[in-house]
Structure 1
C-alpha cells in the first residue's frame, strides 16, 4: 500500500521519517512530498501540478495524508493524485461551502480555531517554543531529533486562496490529537463533522503525533488503507 505524506508549515519532509519507518515495518511504502519546490506566491493548483509531476508513474490511488497547515492543500493534492482516501492529521480543513480562505476563516473566530498562545510565536527562532507547542509529548531523544526537522513553509498565497477543491470529493478520516496545543480539539471535531462528514479518530498526544507516536499513527493509517485499498 502506498501513502503520500504532506508536511505542514513547520516541518521539512524529514519530520515524517519515524512514521515512514513504522509503515515500512508493516510492509507499506510511504512517499514524502516536498512542497518547497513551488514558489510561495503560487496558488493551490500549482501545488497539485507539482505533486502530479512528482508522482508520475507510481502506484495509483494512494492514501494521501496531510499535517497541520498542509490540510489547506489536501483536497487539491488528493484529487490530483486520484487518492483512494485522504487523512487529516491535526490538519486545517478548508471551508469549501463558506468559500473562506484560511486567513479569513481563522480571522472570524481565531480563538475557537487556534490556541491564542500559539499566535505570533516563532518555533524556528526559539526551541523552547517548538518544544512547548509542537513536541511537548516527546521523550528527550525524540525531541532532540524533532527540533532538527523544523523548517518554515511560506505559503501565504495558499492561505489566502479561496478553496476551489471540495474536501468531500475524496473519502476522509480525521486524526485528532486530544492534547494539541496549536489547533483547538473542539474545532477539529467540528470541522471533521461539518466540513468533511468524516470519522474522527482521537489519539493521545500533541500536534505532531507522527513524531511522538508514529507506531499508533501507522496502525490507524494501515487500517484506513485496508478499508479503502482498490488494488488487486
Structure 2
C-alpha cells in the first residue's frame, strides 16, 4: 500500500485527478491531490511545494506524481520528503536555474510543436481534451484557474535532481507535447527511457484505469 501524491498541472486543480484517485483507492492505496496556490499572484514555486508538503504531513510510502507544469513542483517535494518513487506524467522536466516561462524555448518545445503540426491547435477540446468525454472536458474547463505569474518567472531552485528513483510517462497521443520531443528530453535531462501510454495530455481523465495500472506497477519493480 502506498500514498500517491498527485500534483496537478498549470491552470488545473486537484479535482482533475478524481477518476485516477478512485482507481488507485480501489487497488488499496491512499491518495492526496492538493490544490496548489497557483491562483495567488504572489505564490512562487516554493509556495507550491509548501502546500504539497503540508498536505502530506507525516505520511510515508510516498509516490509523487507531477503532471505537466506540476513537474516543476514534484521534484521540490521529493527533495524534502522521504519519497519512494517520483513520477513525471507528460511533465515539463526542469533544469537547475531554468524559469518555467523560458522552458518552452530552452527545451526546443516550440520548434518541436511546429514541426509536428501542433502549434496551430488552439481549441482546448482539440489540444488538451480531444480524447476526454465532452461533458467531462467541459467540467474541467469550467474549473480552470489562473496561474501565478511569479512562479513562471522564478528560476527552478534545485542545483541537481533529487536522489529519488524517477519515472517518466509519455502520452503517445499528446497534442501539447509531441511524443518524439519528450523521448529526447527525457533522455537528455533524466538519462532514462520514458514509459509510454496511449492517450492525450489529460490521460487521467481519458484512461484513468490504464494509468492506475501503470503507476501501481512502479511499486512492484
Q: TM-score, normalised by structure 2?
A: 0.87
Is residue 127–residue 175 contact of structure 2 (8 Å, CA) maintained in 1? yes
1:53 Cα deviation from its structure 2 partner? 1.8
Q: What is the rounded CA distance, in whole Å, between the counterparts of 2:151 and 2:113 in structure 1?
A: 18
Residues 12 and 149, structure 1, Cα contact 8 Å, conserved in 2: no
- 2:44 corresponds in structure 1 to 43
Could you say which residue in structure 2 is the equivalent of 1:211?
205
Question: Residue in 2 aligned with 1:55?
Answer: 56
- In 2, Cα distance between equivalents of 1:87 and 1:171: 9
**Cα distance in 2 for residues equivalent to 1:175 and 1:14:** 20
Q: Are the aligned partners of 2:90 and 2:169 in contact in 1 as well (CA < 8 Å)?
A: yes
In the alignment, which residue of structure 2 is the partner of 1:230? none
The residue that corresponds to 1:86 in the other structure is 86
> SS of 1:176's equivalent?
strand
Q: Report SS of the residue matched to 2:83.
A: coil
Aligned alpha-carbon RMSD (Å): 2.0
Structure 2 contact 5–31 (Cα < 8 Å) conserved: yes
- Whether 1:195 and 2:186 are equivalent positions in the alignment is no
- Tell me, in whole angstroms, the C-alpha distance in 1 between the residues paired with 2:192 and 2:218: 12
SS of the equivalent of 2:156 reads coil
Tell me, in whole angstroms, the C-alpha distance in 2 between the residues paired with 1:76 and 1:40. 20
Unaligned runs of 5+ in 2: none
The Cα shift of 1:181 comes to 0.6
Contact 1:5 1:64 in 2 (8 A): yes
Please say if 1:163 is aligned against 2:156.
yes
- Map residues 11-160 of structure 1 onto 2, 5 A cutoff: 11-36=12-37, 39-57=40-58, 59-96=59-96, 99-108=97-106, 109=108, 110-112=110-112, 115-118=118-121, 121=122, 129-138=123-132, 142-150=133-141, 151-160=144-153
Superposition deviation, residue 195 in structure 1: 1.1
Separation of aligned partners in 2, 1:88 and 1:146: 22
1:220 is aligned to 2:214:
yes
1:162-189 CA-to-partner distances (Å, cap 9, x unmatched) read 2222335322111101111111222211
Quick one: distance in 1 between partners of 2:112 and 2:215? 28
Q: Distance in 2 between matches of 1:175 and 1:197?
A: 14
Query: Is the Cα–Cα contact under 8 Å of residues 135 and 146 in structure 1 kept in the other structure?
Result: yes
Q: 1:55 to 1:218 in 2, by over 3 A?
A: same
Q: How far is 1:210 from its partner?
A: 0.7
Q: TM-score, normalised by structure 1?
A: 0.83
Superposition deviation, residue 152 in structure 1: 2.4
